[in-house]
């Protein structure tokens, strides 16, 4: 049996269309236009692409996007000053500081400086704590996208065994909290986990977020499992160029899983769609409608 391929590009498109409809209503009825500030420090080429894509996606759904670029030599004090201004600016409903930051800037100080109500990445400790407590919050985009992709094929996750491979603050920890909230029995595996293949073989839902190309092999997958591949790894291709692969060996896994996300076209497109949704939610919260 080959797995159902979960189409993240199609789901992202419908989420974006929903955000665009709500945004048009908000502007028509209340005269409010959601604004997202994206801050880029330095010249990391991948970050430049991500920031450009985020700002283009904002414009497509009718948001105002504000891209703020600081040189790689910018100090933490300068960045904190910019965040303070954005926190005060009523036209800016969401603030996203693209990570990673240059080594001399403390990531955690910067995340802590963003007002939690404008923290559309959901990385502020207040939002992380609210998520862990089961309270309404702005939640990280990639984990939110993973949950929507699982629900496409498994609307009721109650009692399922979920394994999250990776314990980052951006993906592993928050997605584990969301799976728990959906009544899964959750295990978080990481680099010190013993016998990862055996842990994987127990999982009805497997989330791979480790950043190692094709690390999870097909025979680790429980037959019929739902596999969500968060990895985006660039590797050499046969033709001398490069290609993107996930953290799961897709060609093997597709023969065992019940449903699986491809790379590209799975989790990736959902991240920006959820960022747009979060920005709309932040706008509603700041306007007193949520």
User: For binding to ligand GUN (CB under 6 A), which residues are involved?
Assistant: 96-99, 121, 141-142, 170
How far apart are CB 252 and ligand GUN at their closest, in Å?
27
Which distant-in-sequence residues (6+ apart) come within 8 Å of 210 by Cβ?
A: 165, 166, 231, 247
Cβ neighbours of 67 (radius 10 Å): 15
How far apart are CB 143 and ligand GUN at their closest, in Å?
10
Looking at beta carbons only, is 47 or 287 nearer to ligand GUN?
Answer: 47
Active-site residue identified among 98, 144, 277, 281: 98
181 is an active site residue:
no
How far apart are CB 39 and ligand GUN at their closest, in Å?
9
Active-site residue identified among 68, 118, 121, 160: 121
How far apart are CB 193 and ligand GUN at their closest, in Å?
23
Looking at beta carbons only, is 99 or 154 nearer to ligand GUN?
Answer: 99
Looking at beta carbons only, is 26 or 273 nearer to ligand GUN?
Answer: 273
281 is an active site residue:
no
Active-site residue identified among 54, 118, 160, 222: 54
Looking at beta carbons only, is 99 or 126 nearer to ligand GUN?
Answer: 99
How far apart are CB 18 and ligand GUN at their closest, in Å?
20
Give the separation between CA 122 and CA 135, rounded to whole angstroms: 13
Looking at beta carbons only, is 103 or 155 nearer to ligand GUN?
Answer: 103
264: cis peptide before it, omega within 30°?
yes
Three-state SS annotation for the chain: CCCEECCHHHHHHHHHHHHHHHHHHHHHHHCCCCEEEEEEECCCHHHHHHHHHHHHHHHHCCCEEEEEEECCCCCHHHHHHHHHHHHHCCCCCEEEECCCCCCCCCHHHHHHHCCHHHECCCCCHHHHHHHHCCCCCCCCHHHHHHHHHHHHHCCCCCCCEEEEECCCCCCHHHHHHHHHHCCCEEEEECCCCCCHHHHHHCCCEEEECCCCCCCECHHHCCCCCEEEECCCEEEECCCCCEEEECCECHHHHCCCCCEECCCCCCHHHHHHHHHHHHHHHHHHHHCCCC
54 is an active site residue:
yes
Q: Which residue is at the shortest CB distance from ligand GUN?
A: 99
Looking at beta carbons only, is 122 or 258 nearer to ligand GUN?
Answer: 122
How far apart are CB 120 and ligand GUN at their closest, in Å?
9
Which positions are catalytic?
54, 98, 121
């Amino acid at each position: 049996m080959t797995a159902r391929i979960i189409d993240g590009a199609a789901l992202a498109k419908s989420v974006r269309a929903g955000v665009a409809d709500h945004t048009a209503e908000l502007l028509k009825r209340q005269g409010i236009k959601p604004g997202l500030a994206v801050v880029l420090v330095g010249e990391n080429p991948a970050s430049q692409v991500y920031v450009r894509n985020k700002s283009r996606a904002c414009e497509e759904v009718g948001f105002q996007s504000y891209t703020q670029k600081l040189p790689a030599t910018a100090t933490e004090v300068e960045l904190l000053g910019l965040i303070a201004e954005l926190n005060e600016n009523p036209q800016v409903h969401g603030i996203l500081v693209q990570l990673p930051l240059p080594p001399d800037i403390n990531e955690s100080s910067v995340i802590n400086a963003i007002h939690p109500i404008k923290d559309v990445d959901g990385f502020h400790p207040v939002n992380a704590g609210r998520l862990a407590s089961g309270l309404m919050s702005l939640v990280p985009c990639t984990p939110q996208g993973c949950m929507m992709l699982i629900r496409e094929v498994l609307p009721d996750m109650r009692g399922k065994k979920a394994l999250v491979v990776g314990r980052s603050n951006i993906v592993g920890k928050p997605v584990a909290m969301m799976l728990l909230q959906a009544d899964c029995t959750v295990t978080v595996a990481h680099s010190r986990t013993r016998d990862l293949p055996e842990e994987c073989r127990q999982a009805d839902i497997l989330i791979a977020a480790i950043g190692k190309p094709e690390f999870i092999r097909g025979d680790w997958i429980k037959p019929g499992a739902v596999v969500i591949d968060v990895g985006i790894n660039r590797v050499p291709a046969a033709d001398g160029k490069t290609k993107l692969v996930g953290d799961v060996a897709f060609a093997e896994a597709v023969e065992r899983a019940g449903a699986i996300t491809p790379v590209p076209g799975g989790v990736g497109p959902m991240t920006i769609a959820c960022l747009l949704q979060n920005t709309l939610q932040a706008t509603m919260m700041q306007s007193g409608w949520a």
